[in-house]
Amino acid sequence: MKPALKYSLIALAAVVGSAALYLSLRETPAASDGEVAVESVTEPIIASNPNSVYLTLSDMKGNMVAMDTSKLMFINVWATWCGPCIAEMPSIESLYERYKDHPKMAFYIVSDEEPTTVQNFLQKKDYQLPFYLYSGNYPAPLSGDAIPRTYMVRSGKVLAEQIGAVDWNDPQIFKFIDEQLAM
């Protein structure tokens, strides 16, 4: 093979490979043939402030839910396929049981997966947690690639952030929450 032809084929392969990589990594809003396009049912409330921590969510019945900005918020971002997320769910549920009736506390267990994926997962489990769905890009204070990730938020500020699974039945966590709720 002539050197010029060989280098041309290598360059062409590099261009095709780069295009394939780009197309596989970019987000595509339209569904391909055979798939049902699902429109985003929620939009984040960050249009005027990209640093806002408040999201507009949908509950598991499809009803829009705004976060309660007057409360200390426990926000956990998880996925059905995430082993560490599933491993920490029982301790999150224990924490929820401990604080669910406190008038100054709100829990948001958030997935950005398809509603049917989350619903199918939850049908197999007996969690009594407040699960929500979110669609869109997370605002800067809540963004990240790792899950699970959990935030404690009050008055629009992230007070604590935990990346990775945690046993939420920890006296130090109870103390932190109790101190925040006493303010």
Return the DSSP state at 140.
G
pLDDT of residue 50: 63
pLDDT of residue 48: 43
* pTM, to two decimals: 0.71
Neighbours of 130 (CB within 10 A): 17
Task: Name the residue ranges covered by the structural domains of the chain.
Answer: 56-182
Mapped onto helix, strand or coil, the DSSP state of residue 96 is helix
Phi and psi at 18, nearest 5°, equal -65, -40
Q: Are 62 and 132 in contact (CB under 8 A)?
A: no
pLDDT of residue 56: 84
Phi and psi at 153, nearest 5°, equal -130, 140
Report the Cα 62 to chain-centroid distance in Å: 17
CA neighbor of 59 nearest in space, from 136, 131, 108, 150: 131
Please state the CATH superfamily assignment of the domain spanning residues 56-182 in this structure. Answer: Glutaredoxin (3.40.30.10)
Q: Are 149 and 163 in contact (CB under 8 A)?
A: yes
The secondary structure element, H or E, covering residue 56 is strand 56-59
pLDDT of residue 8: 42
- Spell out the per-residue pLDDT of the chain, length 183, in tens: 555 444 443 433 343 333 333 333 333 333 333 333 333 333 334 334 667 788 889 999 999 999 999 999 999 999 999 999 999 999 999 999 999 999 999 999 999 999 999 999 998 988 899 999 998 788 778 888 889 999 999 999 999 999 999 999 999 999 999 999 998
Maximum pairwise Cα distance, the chain: 78
pLDDT of residue 14: 40
pLDDT of residue 1: 56
